[in-house]
A = this chain, B = another copy of it.
Amino acid sequence: MSLFKPILMSVLLCVSVSAHTDSSAPPTIAVIKKDSLTQSDGSASSFSGSVLVTQLFPAKNPSRVSGGLVTFPPGARSAWHTHPLGQTLVITAGTGWVQEWDGKKQEMKAGDIVTIPPGVKHWHGAAATTSVSHIAIQEAVDGNNVQWMEKVTDEQYGN
């Protein structure tokens, strides 16, 4: 029996690899478990503070929409930026702020929805003393869904 085991394993492995690389197989529904989602720190050039980004789903052709869960501790925020097709935030926890260029800070709380039109320069993040988490949903044009700009200064953030 011990002689056949490696051969059997090799055959099974080949069948398995073949099944997974058959590009003619129709795409199927995938359930991605919470613990297998990818987390990363928001880059220092695009965020101020220790921002945690969990990628929920990438844009997969022919879809152009992607989503991520972003958590900001008190005082943390994005840099100024725009989105070519806009962005929607679904606030999932806490209280934060969103502000457009030449506009006033607006409060956003758990359960609220924030709609950001295409091309509107803005930032979003936590309030000064409370954390906030939101799902960010945006669509890409030619693979690009954001244009990053300068960081939000402490003076801009405090006003």
Q: How far is the CB of A100 from chain B (nearest CB, A)?
A: 5
Please give me the residue from chain B that is nearest to A122 by CB atom.
B29
Q: For A88, list chain B residues within 8 Å (CB).
A: 56-57, 65, 67
Is A27 on the interface with B (CB-CB < 8 A)?
A: yes
Is A120 on the interface with B (CB-CB < 8 A)?
A: yes
Total copies of the chain:
2
Known contacts A34-B111, A37-B113; is-contact A67 B90 (Cβ 8 Å): yes
Q: How far is the CB of A26 from chain B (nearest CB, A)?
A: 7
Q: For A122, list chain B residues within 8 Å (CB).
A: 29
Is A108 on the interface with B (CB-CB < 8 A)?
A: yes
Whether B86 and A63, one on each chain, are in contact in the complex, defined by CB atoms closer than 8 angstroms, is: yes
Whether A30 and B90, one on each chain, are in contact in the complex, defined by CB atoms closer than 8 angstroms, is: no
Chain A positions near chain B (C-beta within 8 angstroms):
26-34, 37, 56-57, 60, 62-65, 67, 85-86, 88, 90, 92, 98-100, 103, 106-118, 120, 122, 135, 137, 139
Sample of 9 A–B contacts (CB below 8 Å): A29-B106, A30-B115, A31-B108, A34-B112, A60-B115, A63-B118, A64-B139, A67-B137, A135-B135
Supplied contacts A57-B115, A67-B88, A139-B139, 16 more A-B pairs, CB within 8 Å: A28-B100, A28-B120, A29-B99, A29-B117, A29-B120, A31-B112, A31-B114, A32-B113, A33-B109, A34-B110, A34-B112, A60-B86, A62-B86, A63-B139, A64-B139, A67-B90
